Chains A and B, each alone.
Chain A
Amino acid sequence: MQPRERKPYWAHTKWQAVATLAPFLAVLVIFPLYADKLNSNKFLGFPLGYFLAGPGLILIAIFTIASFVNRQDAIDRWHGAHEET
């Protein structure tokens, strides 16, 4: 990796971490708090609030980490910071 690539690489990585965690942590707090209000609706047969705060958050976590793995690998390759393959 080129020495002058280090700063942009780290800035990019930092923003990726923020962009991954901020929305995820936000829904982690919001969904359970509103679960009671949403429970009168239904989704896949589940009460909606229960679904969002349980299985829904799991699906969001899987999506979050899958997209993070993908994007961070793209960042590594773009800046030439990836491991030798």
Chain B
Amino acid sequence: MSFSPRTRLVNPWLGTYFGIFVSLFAALVLMLLMLEQLGITGRTLGIAMLAAPILLYAAIGIAAWTEQPAEYFGSGRRVPAFFAGLGVAISTIGATGIVAGTGLFFINGFDAWALAIGAIAGCVVMAVLVAPFFRKFGAYTVPGFLGRRFDNRLVRITAAALMSMPILLIIAAELRIGAFAIAWLVPVSPGACAAILAVAIVSTISLGGMRSLTWSSTAQGLVTLLAILVPTAMVAVVLTNLPLPQLSYGPVLRAIGRLEASQGVAIPILSPLAFGFAGPGLEPLARRMATPFGSIGHMSFILTTFSVMLGVAAAPWLLPRTTTTPGVYEVRKSLGWSVVLLGIVAMTISAVAVFMRDLVMDTLVGHNRGTLPEWFGAMVRAGLASLDGRGLRPPLEAFSFHRDGVLFALPIAYGYPTQLVNLVLAGAVAAALAAAGNATSALSTLLAEDVVGGTRWVPPSDRLRLAISRVSLALVAALGGWVATTLAIDPVRLVLWAMALSAATAFPVMMLAIWWKRLNAWGATAGMLAGFVATLAMILASESALIGVPSAFAAMIGVPAGFIAAIAVAWVTPAPGRHVLEVVRDLRMPGGETLHDREIRLQRLKQRQSR
């Protein structure tokens, strides 16, 4: 390793610290496993598996306490590429991707790849088009970046107002899925589950802001990876003799395909814009696993992929994470790590779905109704599966499964101890905490920096700045918990809306702000407004059944509207001034001082001279 000012900033003990954390967590899981074998009942184990990791995350977050704005908002810009990449990956996929994603792979088969591939491609597009330049600029929020890039406060306020909406949707979705997992571990009401999550988030990240968030979500990301990799690898050893489920589930998948063909499972011909992803309820298994376009049309598949891709690429809740890296080169590298980790997660959850489907094919389909295995009976009693129709030997279509129960059903169905189910649940809670914490932090920074402090360029004193930010963090967490408990909408749908809104509002303007010098403040404002209004109008029209296009494709109109409005309005209004052009010129070059720091230094100098 070359010894340079940038590498010297990085804490060399990070690997050791997280090695200790992973050992602690593994010790906890093994200890509870032993206690379970010794006869301790499930309730105590569930509470321990929920509370102990949350206390560990909170301890990490509190230990990263700070009073300096550069640490609080940007984690001191010394997070190595892998850790930043892990944070971005776990915040992108979240608990929605892991819990509901597995169910979508299980029920809809091939078509669920649209969401997974969209998220992964989003990281690629972000690394090429947006993130390195955003890091060179060094702003802590997307509206802060846009406001300074156009030297205009209206742009900043507009961006903050419009972008808070998708972030709030993400918080609500993650808290809902996280509450679902907590309710399984500890039997409390959904409102109490959301409150537990919100309190855990505030106590973890309020003292250290982005610094606490970075290190606690690294721990949460590691827990999530362990929780989905370990049980799946155990099943894979049994089924395929290899502990590498990601690459070895192919033969299992083909065997399922042959059984489906012999059962005569229908291959429906859908309209290109059909959109039939499983909702949060019991869904019959009517689709073939490896055959494409069984539940969504081929146009829908491409549109979903692109909507999620553009939504991730300019996501106002993910981009702030990329400013924590030491430099532009590390940003690109960290998103490379995100792609690798997202790929591992996507391949693992698709393997979970295939193994689960294999078990359904093997032990349920065509078997005597009276002799179905015990785990299926337990799932039916829990309301996570059902068996309809008559006939002594039910076909595949007679079985219905709950989308969000599939991931947790795998260890139950393979007869593993309850503690392993709790491990998977703890992983889902960790993913929910990481993703919801990330979005909460992004929204609170946006509120504190761009709305409350957005009227002046020079920030207030450090103490006041952090106090405002901490108060807004508590407010945002409370608001998110309230929205999550009152808004009874499917989390997957909320995430798709958030992606569509982010793609239409943030992507056109972020991309043009970097790649097109001529874009001025008027164009940026018009672009954001047009994209947001078009997308929101389409979502509302689709939800109230005014138009027959699914609301998940709202970005189909919103993204072109954003681009066209931004370019057209920028052309008919005056070109940006010299100062703005210089900012664009500098933000395109990786070398040199971080622009945000330079601007603030110059502003402070000017203020001191005028005094």
Report the stretch among B26-34, B338-346, B362-370, B494-502 that lies at the interface. B338-346
Query: Which of A9, A20, A83 has the most chain B CB atoms inside 10 A of its CB?
Result: A83
**A-side contacts of B127, CB under 8 Å:** 65, 68-69
The answer to whether B290 and A61 touch across the interface, beta carbons within 8 angstroms, is no
Which residue from A24, A25, A47, A81 sits with its C-beta under 8 Å from B589? Answer: A81
Would you list which residues of chain A between 35 and 57 have a CB under 8 Å from chain B?
35-36, 39, 42-47, 49-51, 53-55, 57
Interface string of A21-32 (1 = CB under 8 A from B): 100110011001
Which residue from B116, B253, B515 sits with its C-beta under 8 Å from A46? Answer: B253
Whether B254 is near chain A, meaning CB under 8 Å from some CB there, is yes
Q: How many angstroms between the C-alpha atoms of A66 and B338 in the bound complex?
A: 12
Q: How many angstroms between the C-alpha atoms of A55 and B342 in the bound complex?
A: 11
The answer to whether A50 and B339 touch across the interface, beta carbons within 8 angstroms, is no
Which residue from B128, B254, B332, B350 sits with its C-beta under 8 Å from A54? Answer: B350
**B-side contacts of A53, CB under 8 Å:** 110, 113, 117, 292
Known contacts: A28-B121, A65-B336. The answer to whether A21 contacts B298 by CB under 8 A is no
| Interface residues of B, count at CB 8 A | 57
The answer to whether B591 and A24 touch across the interface, beta carbons within 8 angstroms, is no
**A-side contacts of B203, CB under 8 Å:** none
Q: How many angstroms between the C-alpha atoms of A22 and B215 in the bound complex?
A: 35
**A-side contacts of B346, CB under 8 Å:** 54, 58
Would you list which residues of chain A between 57 and 80 have a CB under 8 Å from chain B?
57-59, 61-62, 64-66, 68-69, 72-73, 76, 80
The answer to whether B253 and A85 touch across the interface, beta carbons within 8 angstroms, is no
* Chain A proximity of B438: nearest CB distance (Å): 21
Whether B120 is near chain A, meaning CB under 8 Å from some CB there, is yes
Q: How many angstroms between the C-alpha atoms of A53 and B292 in the bound complex?
A: 9
The answer to whether A82 and B253 touch across the interface, beta carbons within 8 angstroms, is no
**A-side contacts of B589, CB under 8 Å:** 1, 6, 9, 81
* Chain B proximity of A63: nearest CB distance (Å): 10
Q: How many angstroms between the C-alpha atoms of A68 and B350 in the bound complex?
A: 27
* Chain A proximity of B542: nearest CB distance (Å): 23
**A-side contacts of B128, CB under 8 Å:** 17, 20-21, 68
Whether B100 is near chain A, meaning CB under 8 Å from some CB there, is no
Interface residues on A, range: 35 or more
The answer to whether A45 and B254 touch across the interface, beta carbons within 8 angstroms, is yes
Q: How many angstroms between the C-alpha atoms of A39 and B346 in the bound complex?
A: 20
Query: Which of A24, A39, A43 has the most chain B CB atoms inside 10 A of its CB?
Result: A39
Which residue from A1, A45, A66, A73 sits with its C-beta under 8 Å from B591? Answer: A1
Smallest CB gap from A53: residue in B: B113
Report the stretch among B13-21, B138-146, B243-251 that lies at the interface. B243-251
Report the stretch among B2-10, B176-184, B401-409, B554-562 that lies at the interface. B2-10
* Chain A proximity of B444: nearest CB distance (Å): 30
Q: How many angstroms between the C-alpha atoms of A49 and B250 in the bound complex?
A: 12
The answer to whether A44 and B125 touch across the interface, beta carbons within 8 angstroms, is no
**B-side contacts of A47, CB under 8 Å:** 250, 253-254, 257, 290
For the residues of B in contact with A, the DSSP-based class is: helix
The answer to whether A82 and B343 touch across the interface, beta carbons within 8 angstroms, is no
Known contacts: A33-B298, A73-B329. The answer to whether A39 contacts B120 by CB under 8 A is no
* Chain B proximity of A59: nearest CB distance (Å): 8
**A-side contacts of B506, CB under 8 Å:** none
The answer to whether A6 and B298 touch across the interface, beta carbons within 8 angstroms, is no
Q: How many angstroms between the C-alpha atoms of A27 and B335 in the bound complex?
A: 20
Whether B525 is near chain A, meaning CB under 8 Å from some CB there, is no
Q: How many angstroms between the C-alpha atoms of A47 and B327 in the bound complex?
A: 42
Which residue from B117, B125, B250, B327 sits with its C-beta under 8 Å from A83? Answer: B327
The answer to whether B339 and A65 touch across the interface, beta carbons within 8 angstroms, is yes
Q: How many angstroms between the C-alpha atoms of A78 and B129 in the bound complex?
A: 20
* Chain A proximity of B118: nearest CB distance (Å): 9
Interface string of B309-341 (1 = CB under 8 A from A): 100000000000000000111001101100110
**B-side contacts of A14, CB under 8 Å:** 515
Smallest CB gap from A55: residue in B: B347
The answer to whether A65 and B335 touch across the interface, beta carbons within 8 angstroms, is yes
The answer to whether A44 and B120 touch across the interface, beta carbons within 8 angstroms, is no
Whether B305 is near chain A, meaning CB under 8 Å from some CB there, is yes
Smallest CB gap from A57: residue in B: B117
* Chain A proximity of B6: nearest CB distance (Å): 7
A-B pairs with beta carbons under 8 Å apart, 9 shown: A21-B124, A21-B129, A24-B124, A32-B114, A44-B250, A50-B292, A54-B347, A58-B347, A69-B127
Told that A1-B592, A49-B290, A62-B340 touch, could you supply 11 new A-B pairs with CB distance under 8 A? A6-B589, A21-B124, A32-B302, A43-B250, A45-B254, A47-B257, A58-B117, A65-B124, A81-B590, A84-B4, A85-B4
